[in-house]
Structure formats: structure tokens, C-alpha cells
Amino acid sequence: MIGNKTVACVIPARLASTRFPNKVIAPLLGKPLLQWVWEATQQVRLFDHVVFAIDSMVTAAYVEAIGAPYIMTSVECPTGTDRLIEVAQQGTIKADVWVLWQCDEPFITSIMIDALLQSCLHDGADMWTLKKRIFEDSVIFSPNAVKVVSDITGKALYFSRSPIPFYREKNLEQFYYQHIGIYAYTPAALERIAGFKQTPLELAESIEVLRPLQYGLKIGIHETVHDAAEVNTYEDMLLAEQYARTASLR
């Protein structure tokens, strides 16, 4: 809870991931990826409800094994946001703020959630997400790492898999920010997004947050200094194992 507002966290867990099939149940140091996310959510004091949004009874068996609740959603949901909207529309859970914690973000922390939600009571945005400054060319130029640029008030201007902005003069100090794919929404924002069709930019970049942005929603961007080590591919899983060992996580 934040102030007098209840906070619900939904973990979308689509089994048939395009780039890494069965990713959500793939083992990371002996535990399925979804278990890492579930255990991380249990450390967040702000959450009043946490639930998986799944589309397969195979996933259900894994979720039941760790003692977590789940809600079945359609296999046709194109994005995690669409899956969260299904959960909200079912009405089983009521909340004033909805957090979407992707199942490929096992290393999000409570500190990062505090950063995500820091202004949700007063800044007038429709939704919020995070960014982290990046320096490595391997990340800046990677299509698997989504980059973001913001306006001077901290609202999102654009997200891309390409390096943005483009620096014409290479001798300038360069600022690049990676988007960390965790979101918070107002209920009104979810109602609006539910009526939006997928947009050309969303489909071109394969970035779900471009849909509400292209329809004109205000997206607040908060900065974090913490790594997320998102798992998009099998190679990312290997890097995640190294990260977990280095950080002494189990």
C-alpha cells in the first residue's frame, strides 16, 4: 500500500515465448525463472496482492509447486500488459495501482519498486517505468536492450531497440538509458489501453509500451542505478546465472 492506495502486482507468464520458448519455467541455478520473480515480489512491502497471469496448465503446475496464486488468461494476449488487463477485468483483485512485473526480470528489487512508484500519488502520469544509464557499447547497440529518451519533465518521448539519441558530434558527452521493463499503471490507464489496438510503432519495434505512448498516455520515467539482468534469450540466461552467482543469490 502507498498512502491509502492498494497496490497489486501481476506477473505475466506466457509459456510460448518467441525468442526463448518455455523461458518462464527454465531453470536458473536450479529454480524455475518464475520462482525467482515470485520470491523477489515477496520482499516488496508495498504490494497488497501478487498473482501470476498464466496461459497454460504446464505453468500452473510450476506456480502451484511454489505455493503462489494464479489467474488463467488467454493464450491470445499479445503482451504482458494485455494479460494484466485481463486480470483486472476479471475483478477478482481490486487495486488503485497495478504493477506489471515481467517474468523475465528475476533481479528486480524492492528498492527498484520504490523508485518506480515514488511519484504515483502526485505527478499526474498515467503509468510509470524505469531507466538505467548505460555505458557499454554491447548494450547500447544490442537490439535486445530497449533504450529510452525522456522530456525535461521526466516523461517518455520514445523507446527503441536502436541507440537513441543519435549523437552527430562524437566528442560530446553521451547519455544513453536502457529501459527496464517493469511498469505501474493507474486503473484509468488500463481501461484506456484495453481499447487501444496495437500500433505501427509497437509492432515495428516489438516494444509493448509504445502502444500507450503512441496513443498519447503520459509515461513517467524514473531512474535507477541498479541492474535488472533481463532474460530474453538462452544466452541471457547464462549471463543471469553468472550475475546470480556474483551477487550470491539463490
Which CATH fold would you assign to the domain 7-246?
Spore Coat Polysaccharide Biosynthesis Protein SpsA; Chain A (3.90.550)
What does the pLDDT read at residue 52? 97
Could you tell me which of 146, 155, 151 has the C-alpha nearest to residue 178? 146
Cα–Cα distance for residue pair 237/87, rounded to 1 Å: 28
Cβ-based neighbours of 248, under 8 Å, separated by 6 or more? none
- Degrees to nearest 5, angle at CA 149 with 147 and 152: 160
**What average pLDDT does the structure give for the chain?**
93
Q: What is the mean pLDDT of residues 74-88?
A: 94
Q: Could you state, in order of their start, the residue ranges of all structural domains in the chain?
A: 7-246
Distances (CA, A) of 179 to 125, 162, 174, 211, 224: 17, 12, 16, 15, 10
Q: Which three cell numbers stand for residue 34?
A: 518464475
Percent of the chain with pLDDT over 70: 98
Rounded to two decimals, what is the model's pTM?
A: 0.93
Q: Which three cell numbers stand for residue 71?
A: 489467474
Cα–Cα distance for residue pair 242/250, rounded to 1 Å: 12
Cα–Cα distance for residue pair 25/74, rounded to 1 Å: 18
Cβ-based neighbours of 155, under 8 Å, separated by 6 or more? 125, 218, 219, 220, 221
DSSP state of 233: S
Q: Assign 3-state DSSP to the chain and report helix, strand, coil percentages, each to 5.
A: 30, 25, 45
What does the pLDDT read at residue 72? 96
What are 129-184's pLDDT values in tens digits? 999 999 999 999 999 899 999 999 999 999 999 999 999 887 678 999 999 999 99
What does the pLDDT read at residue 248? 64
Q: Which three cell numbers stand for residue 209?
A: 509500451
* Whether pLDDT at 250 is above 70: no
Q: Which three cell numbers stand for residue 109?
A: 528489487
